[in-house]
Structure 1
């Protein structure tokens, strides 16, 4: 087994076990605990020791892991990396039941900006977070995953829509509710009863009285796998941005305790990051206020820090080369991609780019550069938000990706390890910045 395959085994397990942002953060928590990290809580006092690794979770879907280096002072600056736990998809509506006798469907809302056509005729799972009461009336939460194909969104046969292959628009309210059940001998089940039964199956000791609310998502049940004649590609759901989450987690786990490091994983990037657990929240500021209580020392530390925002990057599409800038030929298995935008949709500037190139050179990792074709709008990341909030030197990078925001995305089989290699070098290097 090559080092790339060995690394991808861990990545595949992580993605397969992370159908939602809540599950992703739960998986990160498990991996960090295995590496000796201690969990802290925002509603408690913290007592921190230099050289010891810690993490804290907010709203079950955002996480910050950090170490105050045993060989550095806080004002020496922090090596920071960031990613996001959410992915575009379909979220179940609060009043989920949508009857179309003799069938039961589920009402769904579009989360973020997914490519919708690939969601049709897929084996879909169902997972998320459920809030309920137990026998004493106490509020309790459960992460659930039905762990099998449960739903599908059937396409209309071409016999009824002869123009289907010529660009049929998708009526999101009408076309997207997945098929869930059918009346056979008994009446149709209601959705909350289905959730209550699943909690009882997954948590046999649970005593559930009422379902008070849920954050449930449909997801592609097909597992991550290799493609290509020589297994040169990886295909799976939620590569954007679980690949980056896994890289950040594994690199932090291997970084040691000598340096000041911080890994930030926020939620809701796909719909603007404006939430208590998003990149526009107070989360990272609150962390630094507790890590470095003295305001002036904190400002010195931030000025001496570097933040690497890690979010997937667009590779050139072999069928649509005209959509990419001809002088920026980003390819799969070509190494991490520096993301540039003149209007600061990415936070990269020449200094942060130069610093990253030096880090990659030390790690012996190739680097590519991306810029949108002039005249086309550009997406964004948590990079500019974090840079503006903290005033910190920031760069946006990502693994090259095809089919971004589809239900199945594609990257190179070498790209996850190459990303890990450069991020690990960044977190463990004795020299943070070169002036």
Structure 2
């Protein structure tokens, strides 16, 4: 490992990952941390006030939190850290109870760019939310072996090791029991789990998750194997950075925006394409006595750090990476560049990020895709285009992205959080009490 780190931060990340199997749980856990740091929840339907202090609002699987320092004016600019709460997985269909040949199964739909084979022969739980007749939404988390997508035995597929081909409709349906499927069985089961009558459940948003807990890996425990590193690692770091910056003497307003649905394009009322962030920023300006001119001035001076996990060089597939850009795990966050605007980074953004890392004493690396490989994207270009805010794309380097279980260095979450803290607080401070010292 290239840099020492505070293991307490990574221990806390592992707990956050384990307790956040769905975007709704991730947001609830983030909100709980903000509450403990003195932030208070505001409802979108209520009037905003312009007084100093920390606030946050929740909409489904999205959260926006901000801190107004003493003396902030109507045109005070924002410093935004953006991330997303969702991860690729298998999600439950509207008519879930299915099965055949003596097996009870649950009908699923593939969400996002899932590595399908990583969900085979893995013990799965079920999580999400139930929508009740009285308008309430109840979180549910069955975090024990409940489901399994069984792979076909090699005796019945002799060529499987020469190339596994999975049909999303036929081959990814998990089983969860023996016998004939019965309509309503899943909802009856989940209603009992959360202590409500099955007849009160009128809707749901449910998904599978691996029940194997996050863990340190390797001889020296210098790696982390965990689900949902993409992108709860960034959400966790962003909340740590915001709570660290809160209360300091700042000349800008630090903001964290954690969106849902990034993995399928961000086009929802809780995604980065929604007006959620823009409305919060505009209402914050208005609450401090500002008008359209003040809002324009505030946004012109604002900056966004879009944080999402990125690709570390894979030792078994090094030829898939750009030959001169080989980000490695354990060596600090990566700066993502793509001239076709799949990432929003430009030279100015590079300078802002490099300066933040320098203040925090954090090493950093550059990432660019191999020219022959399609480049992924993030909420960065969306945020830049929708709000006119200068944006830079960064993140922690990982392997096995979009797997049911991903891999990173144990120190990189701490280094990313400290870089974020320096970005939100130009006058110093760290996310875990002390900076990394080389």
TM over 0.5, shorter chain: yes
Are residue 375 (structure 1) and residue 375 (structure 2) matched?
no
Structure 2 match to 1:54 = 55
Structure 2 match to 1:198 = 190
Are residue 209 (structure 1) and residue 199 (structure 2) matched?
yes
Query: For residues 94-146 of structure 1, what are the alpha-carbon distances to aligned partners after superposition, in whole Å with 9 as ceiling and x for unaligned?
Result: 0111121421111110100011111100011111111122xxxx233211011
Structure 2 match to 1:311 = 308
Structure 2 match to 1:100 = 100
- Contact 1:132–1:208, Cα closer than 8 Å, also in 2: no
- 1:38 is matched with which residue: 35, 40, 45? 40
Query: For residues 136-173 of structure 1, what are the alpha-carbon distances to aligned partners after superposition, in whole Å with 9 as ceiling and x for unaligned?
Result: xx233211011211000011000000001111311111
Whole-Å Cα distance in 1 between the matches of residues 223 and 280 of structure 2? 38
Structure 2 match to 1:115 = 115
Secondary structure in structure 2 of the residue aligned to 1:146: strand
Whole-Å Cα distance in 2 between the matches of residues 283 and 367 of structure 1? 31
- Aligned ranges 1:91-240 → 2 under 5 Å: 91-133=91-133, 138-183=134-179, 188=181, 190=183, 192-203=184-195, 206-240=196-230
- Contact 1:345–1:380, Cα closer than 8 Å, also in 2: yes
- Contact 1:347–1:396, Cα closer than 8 Å, also in 2: yes
- 1:279 is matched with which residue: 261, 272, 286? 272
Whole-Å Cα distance in 2 between the matches of residues 147 and 169 of structure 1? 29
Structure 2 match to 1:82 = 82
Cα-Cα RMSD? 1.5
Whole-Å Cα distance in 2 between the matches of residues 3 and 323 of structure 1? 30
Structure 1 match to 2:396 = 399
Query: For residues 217-262 of structure 1, what are the alpha-carbon distances to aligned partners after superposition, in whole Å with 9 as ceiling and x for unaligned?
Result: 0111111001111111111111000000100111111112333111
- Contact 1:346–1:396, Cα closer than 8 Å, also in 2: yes
Whole-Å Cα distance in 1 between the matches of residues 207 and 240 of structure 2? 26
Structure 2 match to 1:249 = 239
Structure 1 match to 2:258 = 265
User: How far did residue 189 of structure 1 move?
Assistant: 5.0
Whole-Å Cα distance in 2 between the matches of residues 55 and 408 of structure 1? 30
Question: Which runs of no fewer than 5 residues in structure 1 stay unpaired?
Answer: none
Structure 1 match to 2:432 = none
- Contact 2:305–2:392, Cα closer than 8 Å, also in 1: yes
TM-score by length of 2: 0.93
User: How far did residue 71 of structure 1 move?
Assistant: 4.4
Are residue 333 (structure 1) and residue 325 (structure 2) matched?
no
Whole-Å Cα distance in 2 between the matches of residues 211 and 341 of structure 1? 46
- Contact 1:62–1:277, Cα closer than 8 Å, also in 2: yes
Moved more, 40-49 or 15-24: 40-49
Secondary structure in structure 1 of the residue aligned to 2:28: helix
- Contact 2:337–2:344, Cα closer than 8 Å, also in 1: yes
- Contact 2:62–2:271, Cα closer than 8 Å, also in 1: yes
Structure 2 match to 1:26 = 28
- Contact 1:85–1:242, Cα closer than 8 Å, also in 2: yes
Moved more, 287-296 or 363-372: 287-296
Structure 1 match to 2:6 = 4
Structure 1 match to 2:350 = 353
- Contact 2:64–2:258, Cα closer than 8 Å, also in 1: yes
Structure 2 match to 1:67 = 67
- Contact 1:83–1:244, Cα closer than 8 Å, also in 2: yes
User: How far did residue 74 of structure 1 move?
Assistant: 4.3
- Contact 2:97–2:182, Cα closer than 8 Å, also in 1: no
Question: Which runs of no fewer than 5 residues in structure 2 stay unpaired?
Answer: 429-438
Whole-Å Cα distance in 1 between the matches of residues 185 and 100 of structure 2? 19
How many residues get paired? 418
Whole-Å Cα distance in 2 between the matches of residues 286 and 108 of structure 1? 34
Structure 2 match to 1:17 = 19
Whole-Å Cα distance in 2 between the matches of residues 164 and 3 of structure 1? 42
Query: For residues 392-411 of structure 1, what are the alpha-carbon distances to aligned partners after superposition, in whole Å with 9 as ceiling and x for unaligned?
Result: 11100000010100111011
Secondary structure in structure 2 of the residue aligned to 1:144: strand
TM-score by length of 1: 0.93
- Contact 1:68–1:74, Cα closer than 8 Å, also in 2: no
User: How far did residue 208 of structure 1 move?
Assistant: 5.0
